[in-house]
A and B are shown apart, each in its own frame.
Chain A
């Protein structure tokens, strides 16, 4: 009851200003950061090979472009709201600052502050001599004995007050006791009167307004706050670490737990599991599990879903994160077949091509499936084999009559990246061998090449090109050098609703029991520079003469190993599988021995 209220509007502007700044400063910083880094990301995409991305736009259907445009509009609307809030916020801040500046009551309170430097009219970094000389000059001017006779009594008392203040200021800067007081309490005379109050104008707390205020507080603390907190909490609780719904994760776990080894793992099985995902039910509560399954199959078989086409695109966009969640769970259950098929299913959905022995060719645009499967005499299943024929013959094999279309298809086919293993080893940073109980990681040197390039053995690449930097930083963090490689460019995926660049998934399997030993490692940085090279297998005749290893860029993949090396000496075998999530064909699958020695 004895509290003072903010009659003179002295305190509440500062309160509002503080609250606004707490919100606006981080928000503005975040927005500026996004603007800058967004520009950087675009630059990265431009740096890498972009022919696949451009072609992908060209071949995308109108529904997909519409779908993307709608999503972009949603995103930019939210961004516009955020920007609006930032602008409005800073405008209010500017107004408040100006209000504070012009408010007399606040200014009066400010003048009560004791500032010896302004009183003595010197700068804050003056020396003792400067202070003394300033004091002497002013005291001469304002000393009561030195004042002129023709001053009015009021002028006299003002001068006398000024003299007292000047003396105090001098003492505050020189005399020990006064200076201590000044530093502790801000005033040489010791603690001044302080007042405590509430930063609200009285009318808000008095009479009728007070009931409104109380109701307002009750609503805020008892209703609005709990509502938002509980909504946020249930949203966080409903998602797993990998970003899928807990119900979906528990469904996948249940399927894997009850998985019978006699069951053959097919695309149909994975799609069936996916169709039970909770995310789909939440997105389309009016559709059932069987519809989801049918729509996903439509995507893989490039069938138009009629009225459900937009729904299908929504499901397909969501299936990306669901498949990664399934992959994570499958590796935790150590099941290699499911892990492999999950990645293959992602490929099938991205390329809208079923998993079959001919997927590598069917993923290309303009291919006539019928003439491919029934046509040629030789059974061609791989891109590499396809490029052993000349362009005209390829056109016949793929059933493409139009020459422009054929050229586009060939451009895409030769731009699909294939991984070629150059070197592979288990490495312990700082050691020359893998010692017992050490922490090795798997270091791979790969060549990203086109199916069109002539094959050359890994021993044609000299060891010097495969060496890593041996400096202190690389020993401390062997994975830092990976970040120097550029990000993957856009994938050719005209049937996928979003723009994507994908990644490669690295799985490590113990050969002894054939089971996966750790969660997958995602690789999203590799240089595609080699794909531009013209090293056509049909034209290069003499490998020895034409091959120049220094023209080729070697990529590095480092896979962390989740367990320490075994305690005994010996040879331990692991199978390393590096699968692309985007294209059929560019995968690696090999055995790597870990030689544990003293």
Chain B
């Protein structure tokens, strides 16, 4: 049974299955965002003010990176990413949102790696791979993170996959050799 609350403008389906519940949540989210939208002539074009805010935060982070203030840089980039997640409306162009997020995440990965936050970097890299980014630099960083986390078997799987997509990549080859050496040590 579908229930509608006219005050909050939200739907509710008690005792629904997982899928139906998710659909209802999505509809509610869309409704809330539409209600909150002040501009009656909204388009899929990404909003100027959101873009400006996100860009400012991100550039802040880059500046701090140049000043070698790594921890602060990471914080700023995190904020930028969170802002992108929160401020962007669901009807704004997907391609733009994805590219924006992936770009910022790549920088976040490097910041995490530099500061030894390997698990964080790994999850971001997993996200990038899952969302379609299968370039060699992703494989290089993922292999590096896995090796640092002592997951040598998984690192080998990653670097071999990276090499099969880009067989002549020198950095991947070096990582492969290094990982093989560490695996031999790991297995006695």
Q: Answer whether residue A514 sits at the interface, using C-beta atoms and an 8 A cutoff.
A: yes
Note all chain B residues with C-beta closer than 8 A to A261. 130
| A573 near B164: Cβ-Cβ < 8 Å | yes
Q: Is the interface of A mostly helix, strand, loop or mixed?
A: loop
Interface residues of B in 165-188 (CB under 8 A from A): 165, 167, 184, 186-188
| B157 near A575: Cβ-Cβ < 8 Å | yes
Number of A-B contacts (CB under 8 A): 45
Q: Answer whether residue B161 sits at the interface, using C-beta atoms and an 8 A cutoff.
A: yes
| A381 near B161: Cβ-Cβ < 8 Å | no
Q: Answer whether residue B156 sits at the interface, using C-beta atoms and an 8 A cutoff.
A: yes
A261 → chain B closest CB, angstroms: 6
| B161 near A514: Cβ-Cβ < 8 Å | yes
Tell me whether A575 and B160 are in contact in the complex, defined as CB-CB below 8 angstroms, given that A258-B19, A589-B153 are known contacts: yes
Q: Is the interface of B mostly helix, strand, loop or mixed?
A: helix
- Look across to chain B and name the residue whose beta carbon is closest to the beta carbon of A590: B160
Tell me whether A384 and B188 are in contact in the complex, defined as CB-CB below 8 angstroms, given that A571-B167, A589-B153 are known contacts: yes
Partner of A385, one of B163, B164, B187: B187
Q: Answer whether residue A259 sits at the interface, using C-beta atoms and an 8 A cutoff.
A: no
Interface core residue of B18, B184, B188 (most chain A CB under 10 Å): B188
Q: Answer whether residue A387 sits at the interface, using C-beta atoms and an 8 A cutoff.
A: yes
**What separation, in Å, do the CA atoms of A537 and B184 have in the docked complex?**
13
Note all chain A residues with C-beta closer than 8 A to B130. 261-262
Interface residues on A, range: 20 to 34
Bitwise, A383-421 to B at CB < 8 A (1) or not (0) is 111111000000000000000000000000000000000
Tell me whether A382 and B187 are in contact in the complex, defined as CB-CB below 8 angstroms, given that A261-B130, A591-B163 are known contacts: yes
Tell me whether A511 and B188 are in contact in the complex, defined as CB-CB below 8 angstroms, given that A262-B130, A571-B167, A589-B153 are known contacts: no
Note all chain B residues with C-beta closer than 8 A to A258. 18-19
B187 → chain A closest CB, angstroms: 4
Partner of A512, one of B18, B19, B153, B165: B165
| B184 near A455: Cβ-Cβ < 8 Å | yes
Interface core residue of B150, B163, B164, B167 (most chain A CB under 10 Å): B164
Interface residues of A in 372-386 (CB under 8 A from B): 379, 381-386
A89 → chain B closest CB, angstroms: 57
A338 → chain B closest CB, angstroms: 16
**What separation, in Å, do the CA atoms of A239 and B19 have in the docked complex?**
28
Note all chain B residues with C-beta closer than 8 A to A52. none
A403 → chain B closest CB, angstroms: 23
Q: Answer whether residue A451 sits at the interface, using C-beta atoms and an 8 A cutoff.
A: yes
Interface core residue of A357, A571, A573 (most chain B CB under 10 Å): A573
| A385 near B160: Cβ-Cβ < 8 Å | no
A459 → chain B closest CB, angstroms: 15
Note all chain A residues with C-beta closer than 8 A to B161. 511, 514, 575, 591
Interface residues of A in 507-536 (CB under 8 A from B): 511-512, 514
Note all chain A residues with C-beta closer than 8 A to B150. 357, 379
**What separation, in Å, do the CA atoms of A262 and B150 have in the docked complex?**
22
Note all chain A residues with C-beta closer than 8 A to B165. 511-512, 573
Note all chain B residues with C-beta closer than 8 A to A571. 167
**What separation, in Å, do the CA atoms of A384 and B164 have in the docked complex?**
29
B18 → chain A closest CB, angstroms: 8
Note all chain B residues with C-beta closer than 8 A to A384. 187-188
Bitwise, B128-170 to A at CB < 8 A (1) or not (0) is 0010000000000000000000100100110011011101000
Note all chain A residues with C-beta closer than 8 A to B167. 571
Note all chain A residues with C-beta closer than 8 A to B160. 511, 575, 590-591
Note all chain A residues with C-beta closer than 8 A to B188. 382-388, 451, 537
**What separation, in Å, do the CA atoms of A455 and B187 have in the docked complex?**
10
Note all chain B residues with C-beta closer than 8 A to A512. 164-165
Interface residues of A in 436-485 (CB under 8 A from B): 451, 455
Note all chain A residues with C-beta closer than 8 A to B164. 511-512, 573, 591, 593
**What separation, in Å, do the CA atoms of A537 and B187 have in the docked complex?**
12
| 5 more A-B residue pairs beyond the given contacts A385-B186, A387-B188, A591-B163, with a C-beta to C-beta distance below 8 A | A382-B188, A455-B184, A511-B160, A573-B165, A589-B153
A sample of 16 inter-chain contacts (CB < 8 A) reads: A258-B19, A379-B150, A382-B188, A383-B188, A385-B187, A385-B188, A388-B188, A451-B188, A511-B165, A537-B188, A589-B153, A590-B160, A591-B160, A591-B161, A591-B164, A593-B164
